[in-house]
Each structure stands twice: as C-alpha cells, then as structure tokens.
Structure 1
Amino acid sequence: MVCPFDRAQAIEQRQRDQAITAVLDRARSSGPSLTHCEDCGGEIPEARRALGGKTRCVPCQSTFEKGRQR
C-alpha cells in the first residue's frame, strides 16, 4: 500500500516538473540568432547564438530585462 503523503509528493513533483518544462519551452526562441548585438554592436558568442533567436549580448540582454521589470 502506498502512503498518501508519498503519493501527494509524487504528484506535486510531477506538476512542478511540467510547469518548469512549460516555462522553458516558452522561453526558448526560435529562428536564427544575430552574430552581433542589436544594441551595442558587439559580437554575440557562438555558444549563445547556438540557442537560437538571440539578438543581444548577455550584458545588453540583462539591461533590457532589468528595464522591463520596473
């Protein structure tokens, strides 16, 4: 017999994993990345471009996201 607490914990973990997967899927951009940042013109590293849909370097993206949170 399965303990109700173990079953509840398993359900909660499954729901948490599904929520995380949904957020990560939504966050992934599609399409090709730019080779240079649209804000500063600096080169976007190859590892970042490989993620797809990147248009800013990390510092400019961080600044952009901080501005959106206000």
Structure 2
Amino acid sequence: MAGGWSRDGAVQEQIDSTVEDALKRARSELPRGESRRHCEECGDEIPRARREALPGVRLCIVCQNECDKRRTAFSGYNRRGSKDSQLR
C-alpha cells in the first residue's frame, strides 16, 4: 500500500538500498593483499592461523578489538520520504 506521494514498494526499495550500501561499505573495509607478520600498532607477531584466515590482516587480535571499539557508528542516509524527516 502506497502512502502519500510514494508508489507501492517504495519503502522496501529504500530498505534494500540501505542494506546494499551497508554491505558495500563493510566489504570496502575488509583487508586485502598480503598479511603482515607483525602488528602495525604494537609490533607483536600476528599468529599464522589469523594471517591465513584473514588475508591482508594488519593488526593482532587485541589491537583489532581496540580499533573496533574506537570506530564510531555509521548512521547512513535519511532515505525516508516523509515530509517530517525532510524538515528536521
């Protein structure tokens, strides 16, 4: 059911687009290339199993966890078509 000026299925298209954008962003952040033997942050050796499981890894597990904690949440775009969301 369409509401206001939107056509049928518009809400689902917005949801799908938001999910696709999030997937693209997450995939772009994945490490690529050859893994480092030593962590860029602390210099500790990165275990072989981690290097093989995640090609392109640059940080040890401890430093990666700290990096993940510092990372801020991504809010994305306001894709809602309602007049209220556009006026805020």
* Alignment TM-score, normalising by the size of structure 1: 0.62
User: 1:54 offset after TM fit, Å?
Assistant: 1.0
In the alignment, structure 1 residue 54 sits paired with structure 2 residue 57: yes
Secondary structure at the counterpart of residue 4 of structure 1? coil
In the alignment, structure 1 residue 8 sits paired with structure 2 residue 6: no
Unaligned runs of 5+ in 1: none
1:18-39 CA-partner distances (Å, limit 9, x unpaired): 1112111210121011233232
- RMSD of the alignment, in Å? 2.6
Query: What amino acid maps onto 1:19 in structure 2?
Result: D
Structure with max Cα Rg? 2
Secondary structure at the counterpart of residue 9 of structure 2? helix
- Aligned twin of 1:32: 34
Larger fraction in helix: 1
Unaligned runs of 5+ in 2: 73-88
- Aligned twin of 1:63: 66
* Alignment TM-score, normalising by the size of structure 2: 0.53
In the alignment, structure 1 residue 44 sits paired with structure 2 residue 47: yes
> What percent of counterpart residues are identical?
25
Secondary structure at the counterpart of residue 30 of structure 1? coil
How many residues were matched structurally? 65
Cα pair 1:30 1:53 within 8 Å, conserved: yes
